[in-house]
Amino acid sequence: MTYIRISDIFKPPVGDINVYRGITSNDGSYMRPASTEVTMARLSDFLQRFRPAVVPGAAAPSAVPADYAADRSPELDVVFSALAEVRSACAAERSRAEQRAEEIREQARVQAAVVISAARRAAATEKARASAAALREADEESRAATRAAERAASDVRARAEARMPDEVARIVAQVKALAGDPS
C-alpha cells in the first residue's frame, strides 16, 4: 500500500508561501525558514487555487433579454387544452371509481352483517347444545351418585339385618342378667 503525502499533492507555485509557511525556491524545492514554527494552511488558501481567473466566454453586446415565455405561450396552449380533456376524463374515471368503491363497501357491509347474523345464530345453537350436554352430564353424574348411595344403603341394611339376631340375643341376655333371671 502506498501512502500519498499532502505535501506531494499541494505544492505551491514557485516563490509562494507553502503549507508550512516556508518559501520555495525558483526551482520549486522547499527551503525551510530560520524559524521552526509549523502551521497548517488555511482552507481559503487551498480554495484560492480553484477560483477562475476571468469570466468564461466572449464579451457580448448589450441587449434586452428575450421574452421566451411569450413565445412559448401559443405553442403550449394546444398541449394545455389537450390536458384539460385528459383532466376531465381522469376526474370522470375517478368519480366512477369512487362510486364503484362505495358499492363494494356497501356489499361488504351487507355480507358482514349476514356473516355476523349467522355467527350469532350458530353461537346461540352451540350454546344451547353445550348447555344440553352439560345438563346431560350433570344428570348422569347425579344418577350415578344416587345409584352408589342406594348400593351403600343396601349394604348397610344387609349388614344390619345380618347382625341383628346376634345383637338382640346379646342385649336380651344382658337385660335378663340385670333383672336376675338366670335362664
Domain range annotation of the chain = 1-47, 79-139
How does pLDDT run across 48-100, given as a tens digit for each residue? 666 555 555 565 555 555 566 666 677 778 888 888 888 999 999 999 999 99
- Which pLDDT belongs to residue 20? 44
Residue 122 pLDDT: 94
For residue range 89-145, list pLDDT tens digits in order. 999 999 999 999 999 999 999 999 999 999 999 999 999 999 999 999 999 999 999
Provide the pLDDT for residue 16. 45
In three-state form (DSSP H/G/I as H, E/B as E, the rest C), the secondary structure along the chain is: CCCCCHHHHCCCCCCCECCCCCEECCCCCEECCCCCCCCCCCHHHHHHCCCCCCCCCCCCCCCCCCCHHHHHHHHHHHHHHHHHHHHHHHHHHHHHHHHHHHHHHHHHHHHHHHHHHHHHHHHHHHHHHHHHHHHHHHHHHHHHHHHHHHHHHHHHHHHHHHHHHHHHHHHHHHHHHHHCCCC
> To the nearest whole number, what is the mean pLDDT of the chain?
77
Vertex 92: Cα angle to 86 and 96 (nearest 5): 140
Quick one: cell of 65?
A: 433579454
pLDDT above 70 covers a percentage of the chain that reads 61
* CB within 8 Å of 12: residues ≥ 6 apart: 18, 19, 24
Indicate the pTM of the whole model: 0.36
Which of 37, 10, 4, 6 minimizes the C-alpha distance to 22? 37
Average pLDDT of the segment spanning 171-183 = 80
